[in-house]
Chain A
Amino acid sequence: MAPPAPILQMSGICKEFPGVKALSGVDFRLLPGEVHALMGENGAGKSTLIKVLTGVYAIDGGRITLEGEDVAFTGPLQSQQAGISTVYQEVNLCANLSVAENIFIGREPRRLGRIQWKRMRRRATELLAGLDLDIDVSAPLSSYSLAVQQMVAIARAVDISARVLILDEPTSSLDSGEVEQLFRVMRRLKAEGIAILFVSHFLDQIYEISDRMTILRNGSLVGEYLTSELGQVELVGKMIGRELADLEKLEDRPPARTSEPLVEAEALGRGGAIEPFTLTVHKGEVVGLAGLLGSGRTEIARLLFGADHASTGALRIDGEPVTLRTPRLAMNRGIAFCSENRRAEGLVPDLTVRENIVLALQAMRGWSRPIPRRTQDELVDKYVAALNIRPADPDQLVRNLSGGNQQKVLLARWLILEPRLLILDEPTRGIDVGAKAEIQRLVAELSDGGMAVLFVSAELEEVLRLSHKVAVLRDRRLVAELPNDDGLTTGVIMETIASGGRS
């Protein structure tokens, strides 16, 4: 059967930013009634392509046709009116308004200027029922989980106009049950003939939901494939442009050498954040923190870095009791902390790559002892090359970099301090497989070099692959500490989380 005519066709799309060629000659098409995955590493041009499509950016070359007609959007509103709706990773609705208000904001059903609340609520309920969602639409949006909020966003998008629905990493903060729910909704919309553009870093999800995929690399088109005809290994190879063998090399981790303890937390805790826990990190050891979202992983990391104050317990570094009142004191002791929230707590977007990288070192030296420009250049060049930061331009503003490259800039900031304990909170979240493998390999190398690493990640495989021991958290309590021997599998960790360490 010949495929139906594409509802959306982009051809020869070019987009250039100062100093960066974000897209060059990219073709892309969307058929009605399909889920089409847009794949590529960070910085490959996925976000740019979406922003071009939704009119956030104007294109420098190429053409976009929607249902056979040339279109040129000058803003998201225009593209929405033409039938292209986008739901972003961070839900952009008003959490303080009710579900129904969110769905109909700006287009409330009115009579004589008065809003017909009853009708609005009834319509909202119907809409959500269409997505298999039975919730109280008069309750504030904030009272529902992120997954439900996302459904509400989708319901709104679909109701407005959608013939084309763009889902930009909708699953990155959802748990597996919620992902299933989202996928049910996606399949239903697909059956109604809506074309869905889906972006996700989770390969399993791509294979579960998508029909076809378009792969980008470095702003250029690699190709369009049927999902059923392209294996995972091939896909990854096409995305990163080299073989996956690099990823596998890590499999055999050397056992942790027994060495003296570096950081010892004894009954350390903070009211309302984390119950008192006892944890020892040895020199050169990688300690993984596993647990669900909100289980207290980040809270432990923040306590050990002095970002929050402990209300109970004691902390010893090199056997010496210390109180970490500020991050600066922790830094003086050789502790570094890469926050999971790189945009809010990590980078200064208006500063350049260079400035962001040297920031912590400069803070340590104080304002009166500037780092000589030559030293700066050496350090920055070294880490831009070592971490493969792209574009490799130290004077580029960090805000212009893609997520994965921003993460690397943040990592570089801490690595130039040569810390003794590096705390990494979700360093691989939202970044592609290539960068992920690079960061994982880096962690392994650092620990081989004697650096202790506290590795926080929601991905159990990753924790398991890197750590010498795994501390398991549940409900803000450290429930178990498991040595990473042959018997430890993700299954064991999950059981430990589920059972709360009672066995």
Chain B
Amino acid sequence: MTALVRHRLFWPAAVLVLLLAANVAFTPGFLSIEMKDGHLYGSLIDIFRFGAPLILVAIGMTLVIATGGIDLSVGSVVAISGALACLHISGLPDQNDVGGVLAAVGLALGLALVLGAWNGFLVAGVGIQPIIATLIIMVAGRGLAQLITDGQIVTVNSDSYKLIGGGYWLTLPFGILIVLAVLALTAFLTRRLALGLLVESIGGNATASRLAGIRSRGLTVAVYAFCALCAGIAGLMISSNVSSADGNNAGLWIELDAILAVVIGGTSLMGGRFSLGGTVLGALVIQTLTTTIYSIGIPPETTLLFKALVVTVVCLVQSSAFREKVFQRRGRRRPAAPRATDDEKVEVPA
């Protein structure tokens, strides 16, 4: 039991369960999943489906944060990737042409990779602080997205493109499958191969890592590029789901949610140790919270406030220092008391 409580993912998991329980209390059929037209439907599926872009972005963010950095530009990359893909598809003679859609996807992800590599270059090559380096694309990227779409919302009418964010495959929403694939790939790269160890080492002690022979520059660039790639995929998902690209609002503030997800998942913003499972859990907590807000009918003008409150509580509950202070105040005095032995008179401090 104590081992379970001490597990580093216990508290985020507990919060998630609590949120789900609150939903069940308000909406009795919340947990039910049913089969309709060969697709799985239900609130749980929806949480995964709508949370998919956030999970993706958060996975990339986890690695960046593990190197001791941060990437603020992911929201803009989401917008740019969606905009470029939609622009390309809208110019196709046949918007359902699979080859054309694949080219659009490739183009968008390629640009995302370039933007990520640029971030990585600024951080590892030039030595700019990550928060400043990625701020450049965070701000300029919105402009770029506007430029691509010419300031308009580009709409497309392509069933093949729609599959990415709105379609189903093997009874599951296609987005969930993409997330699972990216997650599996990331887990493989970091935990099966040695990428995770090297990234944690760079984040844990950059100087020592250099002296241990780790080529941190290349790795850092790769990690930022990977993060942008994840954001790019998320951008495709979001634009595909609504069949349009909005350079202004797509992926707005998603970087903050992603950072939050990483932190809730137990990865330190100082870098070093990271937990992919924790990040996914963190992203699910955030998405479930959003769902909860709608399902229990919080008035729209107070949703942000409500969200902020819950997030504050989650972060506090997770902090062992805080828990110790608040919940175990009495327990803490105990070790200070002298051990009572039979043949010794013991003064017990008041």
Contact = CB atoms under 8 A, between A and B. Distances in A.
Interface of A: 12, 58-63, 70, 72, 74, 305, 307, 326-328, 331, 337, 339, 344-351, 355, 358-360, 362-371, 413
B93 interface: no
Interface in B263-305: 272-273
Given A344-B207, A345-B207, A368 B336 contact: no
B208 A345 contact: yes
Contact of A363 (B189, B192, B214, B333): B214
List the 5 shortest-distance A-B pairs measured between CB atoms, nearest first: A72-B336, A348-B204, A63-B338, A363-B213, A370-B194
A168 B211 CA distance: 29
Contacts of B208: 339, 344-348
B138 interface: no
Interface in B329-347: 332-333, 335-339, 347
A123 B236 CA distance: 70
Interface string B195-230: 101101100110111111111000100000000000
Given A60-B335, A344-B207, A349-B204, A328 B215 contact: yes
Contacts of A12: 339
Given A72-B336, A339-B211, A370 B349 contact: no
Contacts of A60: 335
Contacts of A413: 212
Contacts of A358: 197
Given A345-B211, A348-B201, A58 B219 contact: no
A213 B231 CA distance: 63
Contacts of B336: 58-59, 72, 74
B349 A70 contact: yes
Contacts of B215: 326, 328, 363
21 contacts: A58-B332, A58-B335, A58-B336, A60-B335, A72-B337, A72-B349, A307-B210, A337-B211, A339-B208, A350-B200, A350-B204, A351-B197, A351-B204, A351-B272, A351-B273, A359-B214, A360-B212, A363-B213, A363-B214, A367-B219, A368-B194
B198 A348 contact: no
Nearest to B216: A363
B231 to A, nearest CB: 22
Nearest to B272: A350
Given A63-B339, A368-B193, A350 B212 contact: no
Nearest to A417: B213
Contacts of B207: 344-345
A364 B339 CA distance: 53
B299 to A, nearest CB: 44
B205 A348 contact: yes
Nearest to A62: B339
Given A62-B338, A70-B347, A348-B201, A371 B213 contact: no
Nearest to B217: A326
Interface of B: 189, 192-195, 197-198, 200-201, 204-205, 207-215, 219, 272-273, 332-333, 335-339, 347, 349
Given A345-B207, A359-B201, A367-B198, A327 B337 contact: no
B335 A59 contact: yes
Nearest to A370: B194
Nearest to B201: A348
Given A351-B201, A367-B219, A331 B339 contact: no
A367 B337 contact: no
A367 B193 contact: yes
A58 B331 CA distance: 12
A70 B338 CA distance: 9
B205 A347 contact: yes
A379 B201 CA distance: 19
A59 B339 CA distance: 11
A482 B257 CA distance: 64
A61 B339 contact: yes
Contacts of B213: 326-328, 331, 360, 363-364
A368 B195 CA distance: 7
Contacts of B349: 70, 72
A305 B213 CA distance: 10
Nearest to B199: A367
Q: Which of B204, B210, B347 has the most CB of A within 10 A?
A: B204
A337 B201 CA distance: 17
Contacts of A331: 213
A370 B192 CA distance: 7
A355 B211 contact: no
B22 to A, nearest CB: 34
A367 B195 contact: yes
Nearest to A60: B335
A276 B100 CA distance: 63
Contact of B272 (A72, A305, A344, A348): A348
Contacts of A370: 192-194
Contacts of B347: 70
Q: Which of A61, A72, A337, A365 has the most CB of B within 10 A?
A: A72
Given A58-B332, A58-B335, A72-B336, A327 B210 contact: yes
A364 B214 CA distance: 8
A92 B142 CA distance: 46
Contacts of B333: 72
Contacts of A305: 211
Q: Which of B211, B273, B347, B349 has the most CB of A within 10 A?
A: B211
A62 B337 CA distance: 8
A281 B215 CA distance: 27
A371 B332 contact: no
Contact of A362 (B189, B197, B273): B197
Nearest to A339: B211
Given A348-B209, A363-B209, 13 more contacts: A58-B335, A60-B335, A63-B338, A70-B338, A344-B207, A345-B208, A345-B211, A351-B273, A355-B201, A359-B201, A362-B197, A367-B195, A369-B194
